[in-house]
């Protein structure tokens, strides 16, 4: 076999070698010779150390790229999570704000309805109210917005000018007596009845009756 080869230390080279391979049949006396068959192939010579050396920077760059890509994805994930959290917080805050605004609106509407009912009731009972004002000496005075002071005189038989009074807040959904002099024992019960019935005029009459009871006890 005749072949051509390159020097092993040279890097990398390509060479073509012609190989002459002959096959013969030794068992035959006629020494028939099989036609020679020729093969042609390419041989590659390379330097493994040099290849490793050249591939090392590529591996380092690839590893750095992977590390940076992971960091970048983690940063984006955190940013997305923060964005979602902030959006949820904004949505919750918006719902709370809307609920508070709706509650305020309903309270205002209830107060306006209550004012209208009170004004209507007082106007309908104006003759009786005039009796209280003129004969039974009931006076009303606005202390501040939604707060009214009711003062009774002619309660005490021995001193008609001595007064009894209570101050009531009509600005909330429920009436609330914030001051009463002298204190009435059944005050809480009467206020509860007022908030149920909304009959303010009856409440005034009952308050006067309670003041009269206290006056008799004081005698």
pLDDT in tens, 197-218: 988 888 988 999 999 998 887 6
Do 15 and 85 belong together in one domain?
A: no
Checking if the pLDDT of 165 tops 70, the result is: yes
Checking if the pLDDT of 4 tops 50, the result is: no
Do 152 and 209 belong together in one domain?
A: yes
Of 121, 143, 165, which marks where a domain is finished? 121
Do 78 and 15 belong together in one domain?
A: no
Output the domain CATH number for residue 131: 3.30.457.50
pLDDT in tens, 173-196: 899 999 999 999 999 999 999 999
What's the sign of the alpha-carbon dihedral 195, 196, 201, 203? negative
Q: Which residue has better confidence, 161 or 74?
A: 161
3-state secondary structure of 114: helix
Helices 200-218 and 126-134 meet at what angle, rounded to 10? 20
The pair of structure tokens assigned to 20 is 């002459």
Do 101 and 148 belong together in one domain?
A: no
Do 144 and 207 belong together in one domain?
A: yes
Do 33 and 19 belong together in one domain?
A: yes
Do 87 and 142 belong together in one domain?
A: no
pLDDT at 147: 92
Do 80 and 138 belong together in one domain?
A: no
pLDDT in tens, 67-123: 777 777 777 777 777 777 777 778 877 888 888 888 888 888 777 777 776 766 666
Do 163 and 205 belong together in one domain?
A: yes
**pTM score over 0.75:** no
pLDDT in tens, 27-69: 444 444 444 444 444 554 555 566 555 666 666 776 777 777 7
Mean pLDDT of the chain: 73
pLDDT at 56: 63
Do 130 and 212 belong together in one domain?
A: yes
pLDDT at 37: 46
Of 121, 149, 178, which marks where a domain is finished? 121
Residue 211 φ then ψ, to 5°: -65, -40
| Domain assignment of residue 20, given as a range | 1-46
Q: 45: closest CA among 7, 2, 3, 4?
A: 7
Query: How many structural domains is the chain composed of?
Result: 3
- Contact, 94 vs 101, CB < 8 A? no
Do 85 and 111 belong together in one domain?
A: yes
3-state helix, strand, coil in the chain (%, to 5): 55, 20, 25
Summarize the confidence of residues 150-171 as an average pLDDT: 91
pLDDT at 176: 94
Summarize the confidence of residues 125-137 as an average pLDDT: 64
The set of long-range contacts for 32-35, using a CB threshold of 8 Å and a minimum separation of 24, is none
pLDDT at 131: 64
Cβ-based neighbours of 154, under 8 Å, separated by 6 or more: 136, 137, 160
Running DSSP on this structure, what letter comes out for residue 216?
H
pLDDT at 3: 45
Do 160 and 113 belong together in one domain?
A: no
pLDDT at 197: 92
Q: Which residue has better confidence, 87 or 159?
A: 159
Of 98, 121, 144, which marks where a domain is finished? 121
pLDDT band at 219 (very low <50, low <70, confident <90, very high): low
pLDDT in tens, 15-26: 444 444 444 445
């Amino acid at each position: 076999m005749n072949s051509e080869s390159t020097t092993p230390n040279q890097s990398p080279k390509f060479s073509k070698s012609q190989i002459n391979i002959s096959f013969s049949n030794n068992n035959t006396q006629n020494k028939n010779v099989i036609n020679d068959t020729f093969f042609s192939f390419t041989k590659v010579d390379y330097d493994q150390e040099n290849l490793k050396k050249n591939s090392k920077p590529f591996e380092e760059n690839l590893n750095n790229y992977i590390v940076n890509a992971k960091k970048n994805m983690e940063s984006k994930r955190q940013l997305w999570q923060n964005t979602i959290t902030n959006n949820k917080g904004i949505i919750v805050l918006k719902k709370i704000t809307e609920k508070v605004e709706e509650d305020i609106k309903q309270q205002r509407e209830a107060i306006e309805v209550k004012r209208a009912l009170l004004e209507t009731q007082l106007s309908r009972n104006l003759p009786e109210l005039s009796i209280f004002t003129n004969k039974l000496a009931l006076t009303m005075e606005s202390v501040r917005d939604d707060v009214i002071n009711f003062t009774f005189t002619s309660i005490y038989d021995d001193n008609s000018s001595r007064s009894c009074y209570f101050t009531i807040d009509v600005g909330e959904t429920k009436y609330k007596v914030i001051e009463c002099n002298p204190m009435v024992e059944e005050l809480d019960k009467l206020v509860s009845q007022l908030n149920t019935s909304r009959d303010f005029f009856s409440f005034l009459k009952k308050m006067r009756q309670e003041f009269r009871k206290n006056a008799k006890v004081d005698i």
